[in-house]
Structure 1
Amino acid sequence: MNRLLFDPNGEVCPDFTSAFYQTSRAPLVALNNTDEHAAVLLQAVWAATNAAQCIQWQTQLAADQVQAAEQQCLVDEAADQQLQVRRLADAALDDEERKKNRLKHIPIPKRPRPSRATANILVSDFALRKLDKGHYVEIYYWTNKGLADARLTYRAAEDEGMVPNKTADGATTWMPAGATRPSTTVVPDSNLEAFEFSQAIPRLVASLTERGWDHDRVHMLAGFWGALMLHRYWAPCLAPGYPPAGWCLGHFHPR
């Protein structure tokens, strides 16, 4: 069966009664048929032929789809085989690379990191008691020097005596003597270096939160200190030999 090149579904039956088809009607008229009857016979033949061609066209389309799917399957299989070959080659190269450079490919274990930079710091008991009472306390206690001083004080706490202390409800409690007196090396806020101020503020904010301060108060203080460190006069305070941060802070609002 010859392959159809065009879709027969869109073809229109010719007008076999026209003079153009007189030659086609002549053999039928010779068999004692009228021109009209001959035209009807020609139309019937054309309709039957067109119907058969439509069926052939649908069968042809289905066969083409099956063939295209089979060809695509072959193409996909070939591509998959090439991919597998490439992966095997890459795996072999990676394995060779790992053998040559073992140190480069040592697995690094995943461990949880601290939730914030202030984790596991030891702050002076004296400073924390000040926070608990809502009293003023120097920022120095949260600087690197202040934390180092707190560690030294903590190591020597066992050698100190206990002193009585009255709580807010009038009860008497006993605590180490070091927790009731300030550090001997404390630096006033006005004499803090700018980098010390920057070290201390995140830790101090964390301590305020841990000691139960209201969120609004902590947020207000954090915003205030953050605004100071973002001020245009702050950057020069970080330069070596520049006056302490307290001096810079005093010049934020010139009189």
Structure 2
Amino acid sequence: MKYWFDKNSYLESTVRVTNIEDNQKLSKDVDSLEMQQLWPTEEYRVTIRNHSEPFQRQMKTKYISIFGLSHFLLPDLLPGLNRVVVLDDDLIVQKDLSPLWNLDMGGKVIGAVQFCGVRLGQLKPYIADHNVDDDSCVWLSGLNVIELDKWRDTGITSLHDQSVQKLRKDSLKSQRLQALPAGLLAFQDLIYPLEDSWVESGLGHDYGISHVDIEKAATLHYNGVMKPWLDLGILDYKNYWRKYMTSGEKFMTECNIH
């Protein structure tokens, strides 16, 4: 990564590449974790049955992406910062994001686009006996505005750890199964809904997104298994990603980017 940014620059941007292992406090905190557990985003395939629909259309599959364990290290990883804008690695930026720096989030901790294709009530088997509003939409990672000072004041990382421990006692032994409810519950009532125009999600699984909606969006999120750099990426959406690639770059060729 350091090699890439050493060879490529954008206007007057300053790029700092940070390794968790270089931070003494954080390296102790994550000592007991496998590094693969620290992927920034957790992505879930959720299949929902709607019995009111005709049989052939009852099953619908959606992908939701939420914060992974590494997001919960951000307040310590970036101690001198208050507001940050976090982009997932399967997201491309089409338009100016600078208005997000001045966005009034009304005291909330996270700015995120809501996804009402999945509601908390439909995830009850995973949220167990926690008190939640069944009609609340889930929120997505991808493009997020985070108020780190409010995160620290609210003690979100500690609340998240407590949720993980409780879920572990309730027999949700899989790390990934714990991450879904714990991540959603940690930010309950702390989400500021971003306008949908900031993110167009689903380009990694949904064939039905219109080019009009894609071109209007500030960012495009390729959440799902069909990432644009893979052979199985959806052809109609690949060109939006390809136009940001650096042509003739040896690094890209060696990584077998399609």
Shorter chain as denominator, the TM-score bin is: under 0.3
TM-score normalized with structure 1 length: 0.22
Rg (Cα) greater in structure: 1
Structure (1 or 2) with the greater helix fraction: 1
Relative contact order: is structure 1 or structure 2 higher (C-alpha 8 Å, sep ≥ 6)? 2
